Amino acid sequence: MKVNILKFITAGSVDDGKSTLIGRLLFDSKAVSHDILHTLERQSKNKPDGELDLSLLTDGLRAEREQGITIDVAYKYFNTPRRKFIIADAPGHVQYTRNMVTGASNADLAIILIDARHGVVEQTHRHSLVASLVGIPHIVAAVNKMDLVDYDEEVFYRIAADYQKLAQKLGLQEITFIPMSALAGDNVVTLSEKMPWYTGKTLLEHLETVELSETNEEVAPRFQVQYVIRPRTEELHDYRGYAGALRSGNFRKGDRVVVLPAGIESTIKAIEVNQQEVEEAFAPQPVVLHLADDIDISRGDTIVRLDSAQPAVTQDLDLDVCWMSERPLYPGDRLLVRHNSATVKAIVKEIYHRVDVHTFEQQEAEQLKLNDIATIRLRTAKPLVFDSYKQNRSTGGLILVNDNTFDTVGAGMLHEVPVTETLQQDFAI
């Protein structure tokens, strides 16, 4: 049977039982190694009931937090016969937005923890906004600590209805509600006997079976050059291969393509995967492409199929950003933009507005501070080739880099280019 990978994040604070939930998943799926288990048993002995304290499995994180060390995302792994799981675990303190955006950028699914006693709270708004912003395909609203509300189904449905309203506001689509107690193990790995009214799957079963649109192939075919392979040996004198990953869609030998931003057309002469020629390749396969014509192509250039929807090619970018630096961002600031394998200089033209992460209200802003979410306009030194983030997660995201320290200071999700601007550009050409 084919085993694939599900990457997910857990959003919630220690108080929501996040550590216990992760501990429960790791423990019940036997991902805990001997030495850690030993420590766990020893430490849990001090507890009156002698039960294992599963939150200790993520204790390393807590200890560091107490020492005041900034940590953002820790990765944990476990697997079942059906799937390999990668958990991006971001600690849920105040400075959470930046960390969650980081973890969420690669996630297929987000578990949003809601304490059954408190229901949908401010923090739930923030977590859901980030999930919506970063476009996580699947959401699990995990109503935890059901044991503390007597496993009452009304409590669960009331919270689920509240959350549904919130999700509608944000346009979150696929939400699965699960009542659970991570501490007691209800509905995490085994179905709860205490909640017979719940007829859905356990969390683990859901994680194992949720359908992934895993290869990103239903979106338009895009390829970006990472590295040019030129052996320059006697027998391979004319070999010139463009190495990179197919970012989305698929390519076939003989496809008519256009190289952007230059706009030069050509034909795919050959595709190599794993040092062998193939007829067809699909995202996210790493490939080497060969074109029929001798064109000057270098790292960062994009190749798209001519018969597909064409990407935007522009220097004026509107984008949602999450600002990740202690140093604020002001209009007029200069930055570097890394858009996959392309790097360009950019200047901040305008901050349209920032979004209140709790009320979702748009507010005017003269600067962006750490953890702010906002919509801005950038002007780049060279045109970028992209799709809107909503259409294509693998060509619509970029990072902002400080041009002096080279630290990563922001995450950007590109908007569609307004039709009026596309027209203007066409006239300009």
Enumerate residues 34-93 that contact another protein by CB under 8 A: 34-35, 37-38, 41, 60, 69-77, 79, 83-84, 86
135 vs 331, which CB is nearer to another protein?
A: 135
Distances 129 to 73, 117, 203, 209, 322 between C-alpha atoms, Å? 19, 22, 22, 25, 11
Min. distance of Cβ 74 from another protein in angstroms? 5
Other residues' Cβ atoms within 10 Å of the Cβ of residue 421: 13
N- to C-terminal Cα separation, the chain: 53
Site stretch for another protein (CB under 8 A), options 168-176, 253-261, 312-320, 420-428: 168-176
Binding test (CB under 8 A) with another protein, winner from 95, 226, 367, 391 = 226
404 vs 420, which CB is nearer to another protein?
A: 404
With a CB cutoff of 8 Å and minimum separation 6, the contacts of 219 are 248, 249, 387, 391, 392
With a CB cutoff of 8 Å and minimum separation 6, the contacts of 273 are 281, 285, 286, 287, 288
Other residues' Cβ atoms within 10 Å of the Cβ of residue 121: 13
**Is residue 330 near another protein by the rule CB under 8 A?**
no
Site stretch for another protein (CB under 8 A), options 10-18, 45-53, 174-182, 305-313: 174-182
185 vs 397, which CB is nearer to another protein?
A: 397
Q: Which two tokens stand for residue 8?
A: 């997910």
Q: Which two tokens stand for residue 389?
A: 């983030």
**Is residue 25 near another protein by the rule CB under 8 A?**
no
**3-class DSSP state of 427:** helix
**Is residue 229 near another protein by the rule CB under 8 A?**
yes
158 vs 369, which CB is nearer to another protein?
A: 158
Binding test (CB under 8 A) with another protein, winner from 393, 414, 415, 417 = 393
With a CB cutoff of 8 Å and minimum separation 6, the contacts of 378 are 316, 317, 319, 335, 337, 346, 347, 348, 349, 412
Min. distance of Cβ 424 from another protein in angstroms? 29
161 vs 423, which CB is nearer to another protein?
A: 161
Binding test (CB under 8 A) with another protein, winner from 191, 208, 258, 282 = 282
Site stretch for another protein (CB under 8 A), options 13-21, 259-267, 337-345, 361-369: 337-345
Q: What is the DSSP secondary structure assignment for residue 310, as one 8-state letter?
A: P
The residue behind tokens 């205490």 is: 194
